[in-house]
Amino acid sequence: MNALLLQGLDVPLRALRLLAVDYPHLPAPAVAVSTVYPDRLELSFHDGLGAFEAWREELRIDPGRVSRGVHAGGRTQVLQTEVDYAGARLLLVGYAKVVVLAGERSRAEVAS
């Protein structure tokens, strides 16, 4: 059996511990560590983009390194960026509902 041991996740777990010590004042993210990507730590924010932006600014990630997209048939905006942090590949992902103003149609409606 070649299963990864818990010690194989030490890099992202150490990065998480350092983030918790260095940035306790920032909004709490959903945290993901996976044996599929054992060097990656994912922090995701599902309640709008404010928390994502707070983390991005605190970590001094250039806004030009943020990719933008839309999921869920045009209903969810997604911001994503990656940066090296404490030896781990840190992935920040922010989700927010797309706001459609009265009288406008969403991209999904226009496409159909």
Element spanning 14, H or E: helix 10-22
Model confidence over 13-32: pLDDT tens digits? 999 999 999 999 999 999 99
Could you tell me which residues come within 8 angstroms of residue 52 by beta carbon, excluding any fewer than 6 positions away?
45, 79, 92, 93, 94
pLDDT at site 112: 40
Model confidence over 51-86: pLDDT tens digits? 999 999 999 999 999 999 987 677 899 999 999 999
Element spanning 21, H or E: helix 10-22
Q: Where are the domains of the chain?
A: 6-11+29-99+106-111
pTM: 0.83
For the record, the structure tokens of 37 come out as: 């990507």
